[in-house]
Structure 1
Amino acid sequence: MIRSAVTVSLVAEAQGGPFVFWYDLQAAAAQASRLGFDAIEIFPPGPEAIPAHAVTQLTSGLDLAVAAVGTGAGWVKHKLHLCQPEKSQRDAAKLFIRSMIEAAAAIGAPAIIGSMQGRWDAAVDRKTAVSYLLEGLEELGEFAEKNGQILIYEPLNRYETNLATTLRAASELLAPLSTKNVKLLADLFHMNIEETDLAVAIRTASDTIGHVHFVDSNRRAAGMGHMDYGPIAAALQEIKYDRYLSAEALALPDSVTAAEQTIHTFQKYFPR
């Protein structure tokens, strides 16, 4: 069964980014439960912000799960990513992600690698950057498996990375990995920029998809742009996707309205 989720950011440095709720995890969870979401997706500044006992007590009391935990604070807060030229920087990035994988697993959720994947540039050419990224994903994918979770890798649009920008490119990039525990995040906003046909891309990626960001073409809540969700919903049902559609969307015009619009659109295309 496809389930709904909504994002909450606890990272001050990410202010203005595409997250529906901000800063107050307890209030965000209460709103998510009231509106009928199945889960929340958390973007924390570090593992200390999501202590297992407190988060589990909060979510279980509201009949919610944690869909995923983002690692992006490693980049926006600490300026670390997996393709940096210095080994010490890459090691620090991996250490941060490992800590997030452990913290996420303790609350029953996978971790996402998005902005922390990095990019190639004048200091690190493409071939070297890809080798660094694969080295990191190999290690971290195995570490996530030991913690009982998948690891989610997110292809981003061309303005945010120059590595893999489509589901096909990401699948090809991951193909050399020995671990099969790294799955893809299909973010509909990024896909709207990069894919020629979102439904075809989903069908082609099929069993490699481990998470979906449910958002509209303008990065506002689903139903506030011009995304055609009918073919997308059909493709997800055809491939028997059974994880979360999580609203990583701008809090416009405000958090509650964005969340209400998201759950309305979700229920329209994925009725129970």
Structure 2
Amino acid sequence: MKVGMNLLLWTDQPDPSKHLNLLSSIKNWGFDGVELAVDNMDAEDASAFGKILKELGLGSTGIAALDAASADPASSDARLRQNALDVLKRAIINTQLIGAEVLCGPLFQGLGRFSGQGPQPEEWGYAVETLRAAGEFAAKLGIKLALEPINRFEMYLVNTLEDGVRFVEEIGLPNVGLLADTHHGNIEELNVPEAWRRAAKHIVHVHISENNRGVPGSGHAVPKEIFDVLKEVDYEGWLTIEAFGQQVPGLISRLHLWRDYSEHPDDAARLGVQYIRSCLV
């Protein structure tokens, strides 16, 4: 298993001209790679990141999210569905350009839209159709999609891994699987390890994220048992830390980050990778 670090702890606008020192620090802290937000990245920057990461000896994964106001795979509005597919295609291309093989995120639905009821068959069908088209496009570029069930306070279409399994099986493409996230599982799953066991054959990416979004291992969402399950099912993909703080203004309201979750912004990375490595022994 490889250990990665999501740059959203520091920035939601990764820039190859500004973040070389950060990438070097991440390498020195003991990470195997990084996760970059690629949905709004231009191709030139993506290519530059690809070259920098190769020179540093860092691997990578891409991450994307959709704003429901402009792009939503589950919308009844065909224009919003097409916009979503366009965003996903750009993110898939950028994922390839940064040298990655996995694009992850809550790609089923646009964030920020709630209907006042649970998922409807029509919405589900639209989302399956849109993500199948994205998956077919990704396959041509050798990219896997790792779809992330997230908690009911952020999305309502797909909240649990069981929901996710049903979704990806309906898509029916070998390069479309699931992202298992400890933070969201801590909220939605009755038994996280068992949920991961049941979904194991579909899990192609993992986010290590504490219950308060802070330092992995400092709370109760990332117990050693999680890593034992991954070893048990012969998982060989990325374990990517997804942590947040108040360093990124654009995420504070979106993720309700009203306080800092560590003494220093870098602690989630520095201490987190040490904790993960200790659990893998």
Both structures adopt the same fold (TM-score exceeding 0.5):
yes
Letter in structure 1 aligned against 2:183: F
Q: Determine if contact 2:72/2:84 at 8 Å carries over to the other structure.
A: yes
Matched, 1:6 2:39: no
Alignment of 1:58-207 (within 5 A): 58-66=52-60, 68-72=61-65, 74-75=66-67, 79-109=70-100, 110-114=102-106, 117-118=109-110, 121=115, 126-207=120-201
Distance 2:276 2:54 in 1: 22
**Residue equivalent to 2:242:** 248
TM-score by length of 1: 0.87
TM-aligned CA distance change 1:98 to 1:140, over 3 Å: same
Gaps of 5+ in 1: 9-18
Deviations 1:75-124 (A, max 9, x none): 28x74221223211110110111011011012232212416623662799
SS class of match (1:40):
strand
Distance 1:124 1:159 in 2: 12
Matched, 1:20 2:30: no
TM-aligned CA distance change 1:43 to 1:200, over 3 Å: same
Aligned length: 257
**Residue equivalent to 2:233:** 239
SS class of match (2:72):
coil
RMSD: 2.2
Using the TM superposition, give the Cα deviation of residue 45 of structure 1 relative to its aligned residue in structure 2, in angstroms. 5.2
Q: Determine if contact 1:153/1:184 at 8 Å carries over to the other structure.
A: yes
Distance 2:170 2:189 in 1: 23
TM-score by length of 2: 0.84
Q: Determine if contact 1:71/1:116 at 8 Å carries over to the other structure.
A: no
Distance 1:244 1:209 in 2: 10
